[in-house]
Amino acid sequence: MSLLFKERADSNSMKPKLSFAEQVRSFFINHLRQSIAALGDLWRTPVASLMTMAVLGLSLSLPAALYVLQKNAVAVSSAWQNAAEISLFLRQDLSPEVQRAFSHRIGLHPEVDSVTLISPDAGLEDFKLQSGFGDALAYLDRNPLPAVVVVLPTLANRGPNEARALLQKLESAREVDMGKMDIDWLERLDAIIALIQDSFGALATLLLVSVVLIVGNTIRLAIMGRKEEIEVMKLVGATDGFIQRPFLYTGLWYGIVGAMISWIAISLIIWWLADAIQYLSGLYQSSFELTGISLLEALFLLLLSSLLGLCGAYISVKRHIAHIEPA
């Protein structure tokens, strides 16, 4: 026995040493071979593999769809910035010069982005166009509409609390008869967005954990199905790392294809809802369009799904392969 070990040692010492570049090339070639071999194993059982990948893809589609919904809700909230406009109705006894001076003074506030003064005559003309009562309004003895100062707060002051504080501040001016703003609508919109964001975090965490568990269980079944093969490989001297690699690459392929299925599912949902969203936005005189997953977000989804698949496979192989020993 000692002579046998001596002969093996002499043969190993006679092997030429590889350079660093050759070692790196050999490393990548070996990993490439094992990744292709893992893909080939999946190809030999296409139905079972595609079913697992479809489950992963649909599990990822739910948090991805919720993220797209959140992104579009934020876009709606920023696009409807006019909802934060403050309308200040001035007293009717003010002269045009006083109205312009007050409008200029309001524009100097640091919380104000822009100010628009609408004279009573301009307001009446606009009301005629919007209401359709132009002929009837012509019989009025005098213009009943007051001058209106439309104030658009800065981005930092368009939230419900900030806008309410600005409205109370501007209403206290002696030139103002009353102020108006749909603060309730802003609060409802912010509450909806906050609910979507909280739901996205909780649901995404649960579904991402489920992806790891699905991959881990699938890899565990694959390991149990090749238990005898693993025992033989360990008998001939294969290390745990060498045996684990094909299973790790299998989990990686599950994640990659699952991400592609998720992206396709989200794209189909966006395409299916596009006409309905355009019709709904048209009712509100808007041209809003749903925004899908961008290229950068798709790459992040691919990376995240690959890491989840790899993580699930790693947990499974570390737990099960180490316990398989030849009898």
**Mean pLDDT to the nearest integer, 139-143:** 60
Task: Give the pLDDT band (50/70/90) at residue 13.
Answer: very low
Residue 280's CB is within 10 A of a number of other CB atoms, namely 12
Element (H, E) at 11: helix 2-13
Q: What angle do CA 279, 284, 285 make, to 5 degrees?
A: 90
d(CA 111, CA 84): 12
Q: What single letter denotes the amino acid at residue 215?
A: V
Q: What is the pLDDT of residue 65?
A: 85
Lowest average pLDDT, out of 4-13, 84-93, 248-257, goes to 4-13
- Spatial neighbors of 56 by CB under 8 A, at least 6 apart, are 211, 214, 215, 254, 255, 257, 258, 261, 262, 305, 309
CA distance 91 to 124: 16
Single-letter amino acid, residue 120: P
* Whether the Cβ atoms of residue 261 and residue 281 lie closer than 8 Å to each other: no
Is the CB of residue 203 less than 8 Å from the CB of residue 66?
A: yes
Q: What is the pLDDT of residues 19-49, one digit of tens each?
A: 766 666 766 777 677 778 777 777 888 888 8
pLDDT of amino acid 10: 45
- CATH class label, 86-180: alpha beta
* Residue 295: partners with Cβ closer than 8 Å, 6 or more residues away: none
Residues in the chain: 327
**pLDDT tens profile 290-324:** 788 888 989 999 999 999 999 998 988 888 777 77
Mean of the per-residue pLDDT values for the chain? 78
pLDDT at 300: 92
For residues 91-118, one letter each, b for 16 or more C-beta atoms within 10 angstroms of the residue's C-beta and e for the rest, the string is eeebeeeebeebbeebeebebbbebebb
What are the pLDDT digits (tens) for 215-246? 888 888 888 888 888 888 888 887 777 788 88
Going by their DSSP bridges, the two strands 112-118 and 86-90 should be labelled as unpaired
Strand-pairing partners, residue 112, are: 153
pLDDT at 178: 86
pTM comes to 0.63
β-pairing verdict for 86-90 and 176-180: antiparallel
**Which pLDDT band holds residue 158 (cuts at 50, 70, 90)?**
confident
Residue 264 has a pLDDT of 92
User: What is the CA angle 89-92-98, rounded to 5?
Assistant: 85
Structure confidence at residue 183 (pLDDT): 66
In sequence order, which residues have a C-beta less than 8 Å from that of residue 234 and are 6 or more positions away?
Answer: 243, 324, 325, 326
Q: CB 283: neighbour CB atoms within 10 A?
A: 7
Q: To 5 degrees, how large is the angle CA 16–CA 18–CA 19? A: 135
Among 101-105, 201-205, 317-321, the range of highest mean pLDDT: 101-105
Look at 53-57, 188-192, 252-256, 312-316 and tell me which has the smallest mean pLDDT. 188-192
pLDDT: which is higher, 288 or 51: 51
DSSP string, 46-99: HHHHHHHHHHHHHHHHHHHHHHHHHHHHHHHHHHTGGGG-EEEEEPTT--HHHH
Task: Give the pLDDT confidence of 261-294 residue by residue, as tens digits.
Answer: 999 999 998 888 888 777 776 766 666 677 888 8
pLDDT value for 126? 67
Distance CA 70, CA 264 (A): 19
For the chain, the structural domain boundaries read 30-77+190-323, 86-180
Indicate the DSSP class of residue 36.
H
Report residue 73 CA to chain centroid gap: 11
pLDDT above 60: residue 133: no
| pLDDT band at residue 191 under the 50/70/90 scheme | confident
206 has pLDDT over 80 = yes
pLDDT at 327 over 70: no
> In which band, very low, low, confident or very high, does the pLDDT at 208 lie, cut at 50, 70 and 90?
confident
Q: Is 143's pLDDT higher than 80?
A: no
